[in-house]
Structure 1
Amino acid sequence: MSWQAYVDSSLVGSGHLDKAAIISAAGDSTWSASAGFTLKPEEMKHIADILNNASGAVDKAYAEGIHVGGVRYVLARVEGRSLYARQGRSGLCVAKTKQAILIGHHGEAQQAGNATQTVEALADYLISAGY
C-alpha cells in the first residue's frame, strides 16, 4: 500500500480524522498528506525533536505549543512514541514508528479518543511491518 493510501484509507477514511499526514521520523520530509494539510519544514522538525526527546524540545513545546499547518496547538501530553495537542475542541494525535511519524487531526465534530485509537492502530501495524 502506498503512503498516500494509508492517509486516505486508514486515517482520514476511518471517519475519525479530517486531515492527516505521514512524515519521516527525522522530520525532514513529507511522505504523504491530505489535500491542503501542509506542514512547514520547521514544524516537522519540531515534532520529530519532541518525539525523539531532543534536549529542551518537550519543555519548549509545553511552553510555546506546537504548530502544524501554521496553526498553534497546546501540547496536552507526550507519552513515549506519541504526543497529543489541542486547539479548542479540535486536536492532533501524533505517533512515531521506526521510520515515520503519523499526524492525525480531528475536527470539533470528531472524538479525540477515536482519533487517537485510529492513529495508534496504524502506528502499531507499521511497526509490526518493520516501518
Structure 2
Amino acid sequence: MSWQGRLADLGSLPRNNSLVGTGHIDKAAIISVAGDSVWAATSGFTVSPDEMKNLVSVLSGNSAAVDKAHADGIHIGGDRYVVARIEDRSIYGRQGRNGICVAKTKQAIIIAHHGEAQVAGNATQTTEALADYLIKAGY
C-alpha cells in the first residue's frame, strides 16, 4: 500500500486504513517524522516546509515551540488553527467549525483536516486509529 493510498478514498481498504475514505476527514497529508518531506497529500492540501518543521518541534516536546503553539496557534496549509490541546504524540486545533488532528508515529506525521460538515471527535478517532495501525506495522 502506498502512502497516497492511506489518504485516498479506496473502498478496498479497511476503514481505519484510509482517512478520506471514512468520510470523517476531507483532506490530509503524511509527512516524514523529520519534517523534511511530504510523503502523500490530498489534492490542494499543501504543508509548507516551515509548517512541517514547526509541527516537528511541537511534537518533539520543545517547550518554546509548545508555548508558542498555545499562544499563537498552529499554521497548516497557510491557515491558522487555535490549539485546543497538545498530547504526547498529537496536536488538535480549531478554526471556527473546521479543525485539524496531527498524530505522530515512529516514522511519519499524519495531518488530517475536517470541515464543518464532519464531527471533530470522529475525525480525531479516525486519525488516531490510522496512527495506531502504522505504529503496529512498524511505521
Runs of at least 4 residues of structure 1 off by over 2 A? Answer: none
Match of residue 112 from structure 1: 120
Match of residue 71 from structure 1: 79
CA distance in 1, matches of 2:38, 2:100: 17
Match of residue 2 from structure 1: 2
Query: What is the aligned length?
Result: 131
Q: Secondary structure at the match of 2:100?
A: strand
CA distance in 2, matches of 1:8, 1:87: 24
Matched, 1:50 2:89: no
Could you tell me how far 1:55 is from its partner in structure 2? 3.7
Identity across aligned pairs (percent)?
69
Could you tell me how far 1:58 is from its partner in structure 2? 0.4
2:92 partner amino acid: Y
Could you tell me how far 1:54 is from its partner in structure 2? 1.8
Could you tell me the TM-score, scaled by structure 2's length? 0.92
Show CA shifts across 1:39-59 (max 9, x none).
110001101110111241100
Could you tell me how far 1:91 is from its partner in structure 2? 0.2
Q: Which moved more, 1:53-62 or 1:10-19?
A: 53-62
Could you tell me how far 1:121 is from its partner in structure 2? 0.4
Could you tell me how far 1:75 is from its partner in structure 2? 0.7
Give the counterpart of 2:110 among 98, 102, 110. Answer: 102
CA distance in 2, matches of 1:37, 1:63: 25
Consecutive unaligned residues in structure 2, runs of 5 or more:
10-17
1:6 partner amino acid: R
Match of residue 88 from structure 2: 80
Q: Secondary structure at the match of 2:24?
A: coil
CA distance in 2, matches of 1:58, 1:28: 20
CA distance in 2, matches of 1:84, 1:56: 18
CA distance in 1, matches of 2:62, 2:33: 13
Matched, 1:26 2:34: yes
Match of residue 130 from structure 1: 138
Consecutive unaligned residues in structure 1, runs of 5 or more:
none
